[in-house]
Every structure is written in structure tokens, then in C-alpha cells.
Chain A
Amino acid sequence: MFETHLNERGKQVDIPLVLAILALMCIGVTFIFSAAYANESARNLPLFHQLYFRQVLWYTIGVGAALFLCFVDYRSWARWSFVGYWLIIIVLLLVLIPGIGVTRFGARRWIDLGFFQFQPSEFAKIAIIFAQANFLSRPAEELRQLRVFLKSLGMTAIPFVFILLEPDLGSALVLFPITFVMMFVAGVPKSFLVKLIGGTSIVIALLLVDILFAPPQWQIKLEEYQRHRLLTYFGISFAPKDATPEQKKKADALQRAKSYNVEQALISVGSGGLTGKGWRQGTQYSLGFLPRAVAHNDFIFSVIAEEKGFVGSAFVIVLYTVILFSGIKIAGQARDRLGKLLAAGVIAMLFSHVFINIGMNIRLMPVTGIPLPLLSYGGSSVLCSLIAIGILQNVYMYRRSY
């Protein structure tokens, strides 16, 4: 066994990983087609404006980027990680400037590049993974120093604050599980991590109690829609306790409107049953109950679940599981701690996205704008997901083959 490894140059690609990615991309195109085709006016658009075609383009570009990434050893890329990190910080700053950043749905998250609405917060995740991997791959003794721990934490905190300002609470929060998993895998002492978890839990708990239950003048200023999402998630009435019947009626109506997407997503998923209604037979988005604006991106999973039922959604979960466990395998086989950390970061990012997005479709998680990797429509998301996969593949290619 030892000799065979020694003599073998090692496989170039991780077959299960690649197969799972290909399968997810096929599913993505198929169901974006389904979701968009229901809209009559969208059906008559020229090919280039068809969502499914654009998704194919993004897949192509993404796969190209991933392949390009694999030409060079990840250790060489990692040398540029701090440049990349500060570059993305600048972009995150730029996006906050009116005139450069584009506002949609009340949040300034995009930079319009003409052909492409660039969402820097997605790329910030990749930058963080590289920067943290580079930073945390130092000798184990140094990781025991509080100074290093705080530095690492600060590295995540800066983009976190900027993304929060957009505002995009979901994307900002995802940075933390990534950082935490990378610290954990790097070997940061458990005592630090326990304190970190404990501290954040207490802060989050206090925040939630404040937001959900405190009288208005005591509440932390949160965007109204964020508060509403949280109230919806926890099933708490929008109306304050001392509301007049009139106000209560109004608040209830607002609550119904706000929880509409989740309700409809649940109906989509639930009505799919065991085997679903069949491809392009789903009624929830074609009749417009599941809003057309979100059916092909944040809520693509409910389209799949409605049309393919539990069988289909379980299959999607299995595909993600294959990707994630291939990632763990790759992390385990990495030739150095840098590779292992890169792989761990990618796994953490993909897992967070999958869990939050699917969880949101079945009301396990509050609604956030977190896309489902590879399935949701969107250039930034697809590009980042494929670059992340490219990183995994890179680590796999240059693993220890001795």
C-alpha cells in the first residue's frame, strides 16, 4: 500500500466530486429553465436573455476559472492572499458608495459592470478563506497566543462590518462559521473557541431578546425588514402588545405579507410529496404564488422539491453530501496545513450555504438572501461556488503523493 502510493503519481481529479458538481449543474439548468419558462413574457426573450442560458454561461465561466486555478499550486496562490484580501475590502467599501453600488430591494450589494452585476460579498468569502488559511497555517505554538487568535478574528470582523452595512446580514454572518471551522481545524486551542462560541451565543441571544421582545425605544436599530424576518421566523406577532385593534389588524396584514414567501415555499415543498408533480408541472411558481423574482434564485430548491418531490430533494442533499465529504477527504489528504485549511474553509462555506438555504425553504432557518451553491441563479454565486470547488480540486491535485 505504501509502495503503491509512493510509485503512483496520484489521480488528477476527484471523480465523485466532479460527478456531483456536474449533476448539480445539470439540475440547476433544468430547473431554472422550468421556473423561468412558466413566465410567458420571459419565454419570448432572446436566448441570451434567457435565465437558463445565462446560467450555462456562468457555469462555463466558473468551470474555466476553476480550471485556471488548478494550473498553479495553491501555495503560490496563497502568497497573494493578503493582496486579495485588501483588494476585496476596498471593493466592499466601494459598493457602499452611492453611485458605484447598485441598490436593489433596499440593499446596496451590487456593482454594475454592465454585463454582470458583481456581488463583492460573495467573493469576500473566497478572500477570507485564502487569507485565514494563509494566516492560520503558522506553527501550532503561535496559534495558542491570544494575539494571533484576536488577529484572525479581526480579519473576519472587517469585511463582516462592511457587508453588514450594505446591509446583508446573511452573507455577513456566514463569514463566522467559515472562520470558526478554519480555526478549529488549524488547531486553535479549544478554550479560545469555547469562549468564542459562548460569547457569540450570549450576544446573539441578547440581541434576539432585545429585537423580539424589548419595547421599541430599547431596541438596537435594525433594518425593519430584518426585524420582520426574525419575528416571522420565531412566529411572533408584529403588533406591539399595546396596539389598538386597528394597528393590530394592520400589523397582522403586514405579517401575512412578510411571511408570504416562506409560506409559499413551504406549500411548494410540501405539496411535492414523495415523487413530485413532474418537471415543469409545478404550479406554485407558474401561477405566481411563489414570487417569480425569487423562484429561480433563493427559492430554486422549492421548485425542485415541488416538481421532483422528496425523491428529488433527497437526491440533491445526497449530491451536496458527496461534495462536502469529498472536501473532508481532500482536507485529510492535503500535503500541508495550508491545503487542509483551504479545503476546510471551502467545506464550511458550502455547508453553511446549503444548510441555510434549504433550511429556509422548509422554515428551519429564517429567510436570508443566501443562495444555494450551483443551483441558484446568479453569476457571483455560481462563480464563487465553482472557484471554491476549484480550490478543493487544486488541493487534491497537489496533495501528498508520496
Chain B
Amino acid sequence: MLVFDQLKRDDRRLQVIAAGILLGMLVLMVGLWWVQIVSSKRYEANLKNQSFRSVRVPALRGDIYDRNGKVLAENRPRYDVNFYLEEILDYSRFMFTNNVVPEYRASNPDIKKIPGKVYSTLILEARYRAVSNITHRVTSTLDQPHILEPKRFFDHLVNYPYMPFPIAHNLTLQQVAIFSEQFNAIRGLELEVRPIRSYPNGATAAHLLGRVQRDDRPDGDEQIAFKYYLPDFAGRTGMEGLFDSELRGKAGVKSLLVNNVGYRQSEEIVSQTKPGKNLSLTIDLELQAAAEKALAGAQAKVQGAVVVMNVRNGDVLALVSLPTFDPNAFPNGISHADWARLNDEKYSHIFNRATYGAYAPGSIFKIITAVAILESGVDPKEKFTVESDPARPGKGAYYVGRRKIKDTAPSGEHDFERAFKLSSNSYFIHYGLQAGLPKLIEVGKRFHLGERTGAFPGQEPFTDYPTSQQGWSAGDIANLCIGQGKVSVTPLQMACMTAAIANGGRILYPRLVKSVDGNPLDDTYRQGVRTNLKLNSRHVDTIQRAMLADVVDTREGTGRAAYIPNFHVGGKTGTAEVQKAGRMDTITWFASYGPFEDPKYAVVVMVESGASGGGTCAPVARKIYEAIQKREGTTPNFASLNLD
């Protein structure tokens, strides 16, 4: 063979040369083998790293529906005009030679050769002008604000030259038509459609739905080091926040091939997006809207909440918090001023009072005291004489030690029902103290006071309820009996309590979500019966009748404003006196259920700074019951209201 023949020549010196050459070629061969076979993985990784950019593509966010399939949150198309920077090169070269350089020369006539540093700034200047010109043409035609901040542009050019640069946002359909007609032929301009979160009912159920925020750097469990994130939305509060991962779906990955200066050459989908799941809530949109309207009419500048709950299964049918906000303000980004207005400390629009607000319950707490009194063996027929208050003729008062507690109920003899419907403080303090704090603690614990309902993980407050007798004076206990002092509750908790009385003694988990993509929730969200209170049915009956009397006694029942002739409602009013910013303020309540004969709905109304529970909240409840009645009246039987 050619090679070995030469190695065996008789010419020693040629033989040495041949050996040397063979050695050299072998060295090259081994070197190539090392680079191309042994280390090829590493170089392939280097190649990928320098020529591919992974882009995160968000999935379509799931819709949110009410219990009847009406849309509460969806995605609508948003139109933006984007510019692909790799297409600008020709034009910016043109700007460079015909525009930027002549100008520079005109202002610096002495300079013959442009120094390198200046040269590169001139190139950038040409790019900026090219994009600016095009942007100007587009925005002036579309009658859009012309904003091209140099800093934002250069940031984008340096860091993400492979991504299109947005030059006009949020086009109307008319602008879309104009754009498609006039700019179709311009290279590099592209109309981009991307989904944006939309709430067709505006502010209705805003607190329950929550809000989303633009999320440019989602930190998920993704394994990929993304170079660029297409705008995504992150749920911040409410259902959007709670079920963010379900609604969001799984982001896809797009891989862009870029050249040595980072411009896009081609793109490829690495993994498809997996759309988010749809959420069906338990609320009824019409009832929700009616409840909001009713609450808004309670007084001027209402700050309050309403919870409507199905007493049989815990489904929350309406969850209202006022003042409210329009969640549509957030997906496009909200201005600082608007945010400051919504998040005002004294009059917060964002705060969900129904689930996140802890308030003194006032007299609606007498329901708990009533259970304690009855279970401690007090005969509801037993009469208690309320002392009269010397300062207020006709009204009662109660003395704990040297402290006088005013009673809005008149002096004289009261049995349980009369004391309940007139909301006698004296009666409930007297028998409450007799039952004792341990009994009150025990009953409250059974009703899960001082605990979260679990319906809104992370969005429920800490509420006060005594756990031991330590530090509790007789005065404190007296206050507790009438729902004042060291006790606080949320409207949602009170709905659970009221529902438990209505359904005969079962504390239910409030249920907000009916199904996710048609499937029931998994075990992390508990539903159904939380605790069976094992109440004596006679006691339940006594309390229910007292609640009914509070409303139907249209002469002296404190809740008589909630009276509807053909729909019997039982309720309890409450007016708690609280210190707020150094002065006395009120928290007014009305906790109720109906129809009395076959309880289905619990309605709890709370208004801050109201006149009184009976005067401010009971009328709201009445309007809500009227709405319920109307809905049931239009449907021949109750089952079709879809309460399952």
C-alpha cells in the first residue's frame, strides 16, 4: 500500500519524512476525533446556547363561569402593532448614509474620519430614527399616542433583538381595519393578536373573581432557562389568584434561531401550550347583581358585604363587597394614581369585606349566646325582668359590678323570644353570665368561630374568639354575650353560622367553586358538612321561631324591615359599637334565612357605619329575598334554580 510502502523504503531519510508525515496526519485525526466525537456534545450545547433563544409562550387562560354557565371572566383579543427589528436593517442603513452621517459631518466639519466610538453611536441613532419614522407613520395614521422612548427601544434592541418590538397598543377594531388596509405591505410590521383578560360584567363579583396582573417573569416549575417571556397574566386575588395554576394552564416553548448579532432567523415550536382549565363558580350571576344593587342602596357610600349561601350544601350564591372595582382596569396595567385611589386606606375598593373583613358581630352574636343559654338549661319561657335605665325612661339597663350596660329593649319582663326579637342586652348578659365563659367558649368553638372557613385559603383574616378564661373579667364576658369587645367575625363566618341554625345544626364548608373543567374539586378544597353541632331540636326550634318573630313581628321586631308577606324570613339584627379612628362608629348586621318553612337561603348583610342593623341592613336583605322570590317565581319549581 502507498503509505506503508513509503515507510519501508530503503532511503532512510525519506523514510523518516514519511514517518513524520504519518505522525502529523494521525495527530490531526486524533484531534478531530476528540473534537468531533468525544466533545461534540459540549460544542453542540455551545452552538445551541449561542444560536437559539427559548421564548415562553403563555397558554390561554381558562374562563370563569357562574353556576348557570354565564361568563364571568374570559379572554378577548387585543391588537398590538409589532415591528420585527431584523427587517429594519436596510432602512436603517439608508438612514445612516443619507441622514445621520451627513448631519454629523455638517456639525463636525473638521473631522475627516469618524472615530469608532462615534460610529457605533451613529449606527444606533440610525436604527432609532428608522424605527421612530415607521412608528410615527403608524401612530399618526391610527391616531394613537406616539411614544417611542429611546431607553426602552435600546434596551429591547440590545437584549431582545430577536423579539418584535411593540409600537402601538390596544387597537380598536376600526384602527385594526385602517392598519390592515394601509400598512399591509410594509415589511417588518405585524398586527399581533393576543388574548387579554376580560370581565364582561364589569365590577360585578369583582372581589370574588379577583384580579390579574401582567406577569412578565413567571417563576413556575419550568425547567427551561427562558430568554424571553411573552406577556402572561398572573391571578393575584380572588378566584383568579386561588386557582391561578389551573386557570393558567401550561406555558409552551418557542425556540428562535438567531444570527450572530441576535436577530431572528426562524422559529420553531418546541412544546405546545396547554390551555388553562375553565372554572365554574357556585354564584348565580343574577342574584349576585341583585344583591350588589340592594347593598348599594343601603345608604350613601356603602362599605359593606353580603353573603348569600345555600343552607343545605354550603354553596355561596352571592358574595358582595362594596365599594367595588372594575377588574378590567388591571390586565392592561393600572396607573399609580388609579391604584392609589382603589387602594385608599379609609375607603378601599380592593378589600374583600365579605371574606377578609373581621368585624364585631354585635347582636347577631346573640344567636351563639342563645345556644349557650338554652344548652345550659334555661327555660325559654322563663321571664327575666329588665331594670329600667334612670337616664332613659322606658329603656332598660344592666349592671355588671359598677358598670352600666345600656339596653335598647324596654324595661320589664322578657321571655327568650321577646328578649331575642327586641334584642335585649340585659337578658342575654344575665343568662350568658349564668351559663359562663367556658360554655360560651365551647359553643363558639363548635361553630368554628375564631377559625377560618377554608373557602378562601390565604385570603381570610385572623378572627378573635376566646380560647381560655384567662384575662377575662365579668365585664368582658358581658360584652362577649352581646357580640362586643374581644370578638370578631367575617360576614362569611356569620353566613355559616346562620345556615347552621337554618339547617338544624350543621356547619357547612362554604363552597365557591362548583367544578374545574367539569370535574368536582379535589380534596384540598373541603366541602359538605364541616361539623354536626348536635343541637337539641327543641333549641333549634326555639331560636328559629325567635328569629322569625324578629322579622314577622312588624310592630316591635328589630328585623321587621325584612318582612315579605308571602316569603317568611327569620333573622337577627345587630349594631356593634366600635372605636374607629378615635370616635364611635357602628358595624350594622342582619343575619337571616328563608323561607322559614323549608330553609334554603342564608343571607347575611353587613354595613359599616350604618344607622342600625334593622334600619340599614334588614331592608337590603328584603330586596335580596325579593330577588330570590322573583327567580323562584319565574321558575315553576325550586329544583330548576339549580341548587345542587
Contact = CB atoms under 8 A, between A and B. Distances in A.
Interface string B51-72: 1000000000000000000000
Interface in B220-272: 257-261, 265
A225 B44 CA distance: 29
Contacts of A348: 17
7 contacts: A266-B43, A317-B25, A324-B21, A324-B25, A326-B2, A332-B14, A344-B17
B50 interface: yes
Contact of B32 (A184, A185, A317, A322): A317
Nearest to A321: B25
Contacts of A364: 27-28, 31
A267 B36 contact: no
A28 interface: no
B533 interface: no
B257 A184 contact: no
A364 B258 CA distance: 29
B50 A267 contact: yes
Given A185-B17, A289-B50, A332-B11, A305 B28 contact: no
B16 interface: yes
A359 B26 CA distance: 12
A347 B13 CA distance: 14
Interface string B579-613: 00000000000000000000000000000000000
A283 B50 CA distance: 11
Interface stretch (A4-12, A145-153, A269-277, A382-390): A269-277
Contacts of B33: 310
A272 B35 CA distance: 9
Contact of A289 (B2, B35, B39, B51): B51
B47 interface: yes
Interface string A169-193: 0000000000001001101000000
A332 B9 contact: yes
B36 A310 contact: yes
A288 interface: yes
A325 B13 contact: no
A305 B24 contact: no
B3 interface: yes
Nearest to B259: A287
A278 to B, nearest CB: 15
A326 B5 CA distance: 10
Contacts of A314: 29, 32
A321 B32 contact: no
Contacts of B14: 185, 328, 331-332, 340, 344
A340 B9 CA distance: 14
Interface string A55-77: 00000000000000000000000
Given A267-B47, A325-B6, 19 more contacts: A184-B17, A185-B14, A270-B39, A270-B42, A271-B40, A283-B47, A287-B257, A288-B260, A289-B50, A310-B32, A317-B28, A321-B25, A322-B2, A324-B21, A329-B5, A332-B9, A347-B17, A358-B28, A362-B31
A187 B13 contact: yes
A385 B42 CA distance: 35
Given A184-B13, A325-B3, A273 B37 contact: yes
A347 B32 contact: no
B242 to A, nearest CB: 45
A284 interface: yes
Interface string A305-343: 100011001100100111011101101100000001000
B469 interface: no
A364 B13 CA distance: 27
B2 A305 contact: no
B434 interface: no
A347 B259 CA distance: 40
B191 interface: no
A344 B11 CA distance: 13
A351 interface: yes
Nearest to A283: B51
A270 B259 contact: no
B124 interface: no
A328 B43 contact: no
B6 A359 contact: no
Contacts of A305: 32, 36
A267 B259 contact: no
B46 interface: yes
Interface string A364-395: 10000000000000000000000000000000
Contact of B260 (A187, A273, A287, A320): A287
Given A317-B32, A321-B3, A328 B42 contact: no
Contacts of B122: none
Interface in B451-468: none
A320 B28 CA distance: 11
A82 interface: no
A328 B6 contact: yes
A271 B3 contact: no
B13 A273 contact: no
A216 interface: no
A181 B17 contact: yes
Contacts of A355: 24, 27-28
A273 B33 CA distance: 9
A362 B261 contact: no
B17 A362 contact: no
B40 A329 contact: no
A90 to B, nearest CB: 32
B287 interface: no
Given A267-B50, A326-B2, A359-B31, A351 B36 contact: no
Interface string A153-174: 0000000000000000000000
Contacts of B29: 314, 317
A240 interface: no
A201 B38 CA distance: 32
Contacts of B17: 181, 184-185, 328, 344, 347-348
Interface string A258-294: 0000000011011111100000000110011100000
B43 A184 contact: no
B35 A270 contact: yes
A4 to B, nearest CB: 18
B350 to A, nearest CB: 47
A16 interface: yes
Contacts of B171: none
Contacts of A326: 2
A287 to B, nearest CB: 4
B435 interface: no
B564 interface: no
Nearest to A265: B35
B18 interface: yes
Contacts of A272: 36, 40
Given A274-B37, A305-B36, A329 B51 contact: no
B260 A270 contact: no
B50 A309 contact: no
A257 B28 CA distance: 26
B88 to A, nearest CB: 16
Contact of A325 (B18, B35, B40, B265): B18
A328 B21 contact: yes
Given A283-B47, A287-B265, A362 B35 contact: yes
B616 to A, nearest CB: 70
Contact of A270 (B2, B9, B43): B43
Nearest to B16: A184
Contact of A309 (B9, B36, B257): B36
Choose among B14, B21, B36, B39 the residue with the greatest number of A CB atoms under 10 Å from its CB: B36
A202 B148 CA distance: 63
B634 to A, nearest CB: 68
Contacts of A267: 43, 46-47, 50
A314 B36 CA distance: 10
Nearest to A309: B36
Given A326-B2, A358-B28, A270 B36 contact: yes
A324 B14 CA distance: 12
Choose among B21, B37, B260 the residue with the greatest number of A CB atoms under 10 Å from its CB: B21
